[in-house]
A and B are shown apart, each in its own frame.
Chain A
């Protein structure tokens, strides 16, 4: 059978199998009437949604470990289906060129380049976002919404000031501080009826530091994602090379499972190869370090809010725990010393008697 025919018939089989999958999962969650199966392109996404509903319905009363296992199982099936779909679309795209006599190596290389570009598109979106401070500030403030709406309201008005502050404009933080000051007056300031400029200034400084830490984390995360995406793309390319070489060697890949496991072996090797490189280790280190630095800044901000609300903070609790720990250790040592003295005395008495 030719490449074209084979790829076409496999795609057809895949689509039919998906219809079956769709039916069985709809049956599982017993929806009446069953939703209409979506178009071919969106089927995996929608299947995932319906499968996840079925999973919840079925394992709702189960132990956590059972729920987790069921989720993993579904997730493995999902990955497998996506992989099959990707492989089929690759071969379908390559088939006409190979059929027309083009060199498979060139076809594969050009397809891989296209694939890589598509794969890397999402992280490039990240670059654009990194360039827009205002957009980043919006994303950043979204994370703080739960801390108190009045404060968030003031943050909503700050992108311009913050953008300027981030660019080194010294007057911007003052304007920013004024916004907080207003909010503060309307909330905690009135409540406390005490001079609160210190709090406001402190909080402002913490928010700025937090934003910087968050920016660093986003940059590190983006760089890290790029390496992972590159590795995915390379691994897929390597798989296709491997499949071709398997075919040329006269060996056969006769089942989807065999194909999937071959892919897993190839991709695992590709990732582990990258994981060992100096560049990756540095990126991973930076990702974790920036995430942790941001977490510390985040704590600082939260603690600022807690302080004005008379709520003990994480740091204060940690300090209390530290004192308890030290005292506990001291008590243990004293008890031990006392026991030794007692033991020594009784031994002394035994010798005397």
Chain B
């Protein structure tokens, strides 16, 4: 006869269940004593440089006496918050770049309100990004600065660099989607990468919601790994409930992951239709306002960093960049982590900032 599936002594099962409950009860008690000050995010010092509508351009306070002469502007995804690159002191891309002598600026996209519903990609790329680049360039009396685009911000940075190649000295893209029809990506499948598929009607979605709620976006991201992200993750948390430092780290992550701004309706409509559904970026068919995006005009040096286990932006989607850009100086580097791991993995935080800083410094 086949053995009973669970080779566990009853007293052991009893012990495990009561232990599990004890930990949960104690953990919730510990959680209730934690105050927000203990897990603040985005703590690296910064000052406001420029403000336009809801967006703010920040400069992080340099950590060396004479920072690298070409400043870097970070452009992250609209669905995120700026502290994704500055979660905590020992897990901060920004802080590590500052320590390595970089001069770092960042565009905070803010939280779009209903009044921002009509903002388009044109406003974001030809408007906000372009204005911020001009402000930074002017402050440093330079014609060109470095751009670091993350995820959707990477795609925006690519569009920007293709439209204004004269303003970008070097471009770093990080976990940036380029080929949106890579089928390994569940997100790509759902948003309509296969032609003729009956997917979600984006026009209807935007018309109904106005701005796309952050909660709706978050739900979509969670469902990409439903049981890992909704059950297993919290079961694993039980093991660290009695370790306050780890618990605080976990809370910072939770705050970041669930702090998702709404998406400006018209921007979302164009991004999903042109990029995800029609894959126009690699076809040279994207138009931002009146300006055509031709990736062959990305002629500045490009460093493309991607995550090998990325379930949101499959590696193949980022790797495709090499085939479409016009630059002769193209470097691709990968890390053996997932999308989130790129911001929070200790190993990545140890290796990624020096990679970026060294690569930029080598190019003057």
Query: A interface vs B, CB < 8 Å?
Result: 1-3, 6-7, 9-10, 12-14, 16-18, 20-21, 24-25, 28, 54-55, 58-59, 61-63, 65-66, 68-70, 72-77, 79-81, 84, 87, 91, 98-99, 101, 104, 240, 243-244, 246-248, 252-257, 259-261, 264, 267-268, 271-272, 275-276, 278, 281-282, 284-286, 288-289, 291-293, 295-296, 299, 314, 317-318, 321-322, 324-326, 328-329, 332
Q: A21-B18, A66-B251, A284-B190 are in contact. Are A264 and B232 (CB under 8 A)?
A: yes
Q: How far is the CB of A221 from chain B (nearest CB, A)?
A: 15
Bound-complex Cα distance A278 to B296 (A): 34
Is A80 within 8 A of B28, CB to CB? no
Bound-complex Cα distance A264 to B16 (A): 18
Interface-central residue, A28, A244, A299, A321, by most chain B CB under 10 Å: A321
- The segment from B117-125, B139-147, B276-284 found at the interface with A is B117-125
B226 within 8 A of A: yes
Bound-complex Cα distance A275 to B1 (A): 37
Bound-complex Cα distance A292 to B345 (A): 38
User: What are 25 A-to-B residue pairs whose CB atoms are below 8 Å?
Assistant: A13-B10, A17-B18, A18-B17, A28-B25, A66-B34, A68-B254, A73-B27, A74-B24, A74-B28, A76-B231, A76-B234, A87-B6, A98-B2, A104-B2, A243-B5, A255-B12, A259-B6, A268-B227, A276-B189, A292-B209, A296-B204, A296-B207, A317-B114, A321-B115, A328-B53
Is A254 within 8 A of B8, CB to CB? yes
Is B235 within 8 A of A257, CB to CB? yes
Q: What does DSSP make chain B's interface, helix, strand, loop or mixed?
A: helix
Chain B 226-240: CB-based contact to A (< 8 A → 1; otherwise 0): 111011111101100
Bound-complex Cα distance A261 to B117 (A): 42
Give which listed residue, A13, A55, A72, contacts B11 with CB less than 8 A.
A13
Is B199 within 8 A of A281, CB to CB? yes
Interface residues in B4-36 by Cβ distance below 8 A to A read 4-8, 10-14, 16-18, 20-22, 24-25, 27-29, 31-32, 34-36
Is B16 within 8 A of A257, CB to CB? yes
In the A-B complex, list the 7 residue pairs whose CB atoms are closest, starting with the nearest: A17-B17, A76-B234, A243-B5, A292-B208, A9-B10, A13-B14, A13-B10
B347 within 8 A of A: no
- Residue in B closest to A333 when the chains form the complex, CB atoms: B127
Q: How far is the CB of A77 from chain B (nearest CB, A)?
A: 5
Bound-complex Cα distance A24 to B23 (A): 11
Query: In the complex, which residues of chain B have a beta carbon less than 8 angstroms from the beta carbon of A326?
Result: 118
Bound-complex Cα distance A18 to B199 (A): 45
Is B227 within 8 A of A271, CB to CB? yes
Chain B 244-277: CB-based contact to A (< 8 A → 1; otherwise 0): 0000001100110010000000000000000000
Known: A285-B200, A328-B53; 9 extra A-B contacts, CB below 8 A, are A54-B28, A58-B29, A65-B254, A76-B238, A256-B20, A257-B235, A285-B199, A292-B208, A295-B209
Q: A69-B31, A325-B118 are in contact. Are A267 and B227 (CB under 8 A)?
A: yes
Is A62 within 8 A of B186, CB to CB? no
Is B36 within 8 A of A77, CB to CB? no
B205 within 8 A of A: yes
Is A77 within 8 A of B11, CB to CB? no
Is A76 within 8 A of B235, CB to CB? yes
Interface residues in B109-160 by Cβ distance below 8 A to A read 114-115, 117-119, 123, 127
Is A281 within 8 A of B127, CB to CB? no
B197 within 8 A of A: yes
Is A16 within 8 A of B14, CB to CB? yes
Query: In the complex, which residues of chain B have a beta carbon less than 8 angstroms from the beta carbon of A65?
Result: 36, 39, 251, 254-255, 258
Q: How many A-B residue pairs have CB under 8 A?
A: 230
Query: In the complex, which residues of chain B have a beta carbon less than 8 angstroms from the beta carbon of A292?
Result: 201, 204-205, 207-209
Query: In the complex, which residues of chain B have a beta carbon less than 8 angstroms from the beta carbon of A6?
Result: 4, 6
How many chain B residues touch A (CB < 8 A): the figure is: 70
Bound-complex Cα distance A272 to B234 (A): 20
B353 within 8 A of A: no
B3 within 8 A of A: yes
Give which listed residue, A20, A253, A271, contacts B5 with CB less than 8 A.
A253
Q: A63-B35, A267-B227 are in contact. Are A275 and B186 (CB under 8 A)?
A: yes
Is A17 within 8 A of B13, CB to CB? yes
Q: How far is the CB of A74 from chain B (nearest CB, A)?
A: 7
B225 within 8 A of A: yes
Is A282 within 8 A of B28, CB to CB? no
Bound-complex Cα distance A91 to B5 (A): 9
Query: In the complex, which residues of chain B have a beta carbon less than 8 angstroms from the beta carbon of A87?
Result: 6
Is A12 within 8 A of B10, CB to CB? yes
Bound-complex Cα distance A16 to B31 (A): 27
Is A69 within 8 A of B4, CB to CB? no
Bound-complex Cα distance A272 to B323 (A): 30
Give which listed residue, A20, A63, A69, A243, contacts B6 with CB less than 8 A.
A243
Is B34 within 8 A of A62, CB to CB? yes
Is A25 within 8 A of B25, CB to CB? yes
Q: How far is the CB of B212 from chain A (nearest CB, A)?
A: 11
Query: In the complex, which residues of chain B have a beta carbon less than 8 angstroms from the beta carbon of A74?
Result: 24, 28
- Residue in A closest to B232 when the chains form the complex, CB atoms: A264
Q: How far is the CB of B310 from chain A (nearest CB, A)?
A: 15
B210 within 8 A of A: yes
Bound-complex Cα distance A79 to B197 (A): 34
Query: In the complex, which residues of chain A have a beta carbon less than 8 angstroms from the beta carbon of B34?
Result: 62-63, 66
Bound-complex Cα distance A332 to B122 (A): 13
Is A322 within 8 A of B227, CB to CB? no
Is B8 within 8 A of A255, CB to CB? yes
Q: How far is the CB of B223 from chain A (nearest CB, A)?
A: 8
Query: In the complex, which residues of chain A have a beta carbon less than 8 angstroms from the beta carbon of B12?
Result: 255
Q: How far is the CB of A287 from chain B (nearest CB, A)?
A: 9
Query: In the complex, which residues of chain A have a beta carbon less than 8 angstroms from the beta carbon of B233?
Result: 76
Query: In the complex, which residues of chain B have a beta carbon less than 8 angstroms from the beta carbon of A314?
Result: 210
Is A62 within 8 A of B31, CB to CB? yes
Bound-complex Cα distance A58 to B34 (A): 11
B198 within 8 A of A: yes
Give which listed residue, B17, B226, B235, contacts A271 with CB less than 8 A.
B226
Query: In the complex, which residues of chain A have a beta carbon less than 8 angstroms from the beta carbon of B115?
Result: 321, 324-325
Is B251 within 8 A of A24, CB to CB? no
Bound-complex Cα distance A282 to B199 (A): 6
Bound-complex Cα distance A3 to B6 (A): 10
Is A69 within 8 A of B5, CB to CB? no
Q: How far is the CB of A107 from chain B (nearest CB, A)?
A: 11
Bound-complex Cα distance A244 to B24 (A): 31
Query: In the complex, which residues of chain A have a beta carbon less than 8 angstroms from the beta carbon of B210?
Result: 314, 318
Bound-complex Cα distance A257 to B20 (A): 9
Is B118 within 8 A of A288, CB to CB? no
